[in-house]
Amino acid sequence: MDLDQRDDIGNEEDAANLVHTFYAKVRADELLGPIFEPIIKDNWDPHSKRMVDFWSTILLYTRKYNDDPMPKHMQLPVEKQHFDRWLFLFNETLDDLFAGEIAENAKLRAASIAKIMMVIRSRKNGLRVL
């Protein structure tokens, strides 16, 4: 997409575009794909729908997601390098597709979520905060 023609995230269709584009990158990624594929298997459609609901709730206040994502994600075999890669791909996807206040907020929210997850994982494992 031409960078000059990018709009901000404005509706659930935009949130879906973000999620589907991002998770296509995750699935193809050499570092992240092997983490998610064995767990999600052939259930990417329901997972993607939940992630669209999650991000539309976080960014657009749709209130479609009412769960706690932390317990399921705490079971993933991930380390700092995985969080860093996840954030890189997420921010890259945002920059490819969108420009504006909500897109920038998405980057901040994603970084905050990653930081919280790393802190919780570190404390749970008796490690210093990454």
Distance from C-alpha of 36 to C-alpha of 25, rounded to nearest angstrom: 12
Averaged pLDDT, groups of 10, the chain, 130 residues long: 81 98 97 92 92 97 85 74 95 98 98 88 59
| pLDDT at site 23 | 95
| pLDDT at site 78 | 81
Sorted by where each starts, the structural domains of the chain and their CATH numbers stand as 3-124 (1.10.490.10)
* % helix, strand, coil for the chain, step of 5: 70, 0, 30
* Burial (0-12, 13-18, 19+ Cβ within 10 Å), 9: buried
3-state secondary structure of 34: helix
| pLDDT at site 130 | 46
| pLDDT at site 51 | 95
Angle at 39 between CA 38 and CA 45, to 5 degrees: 105
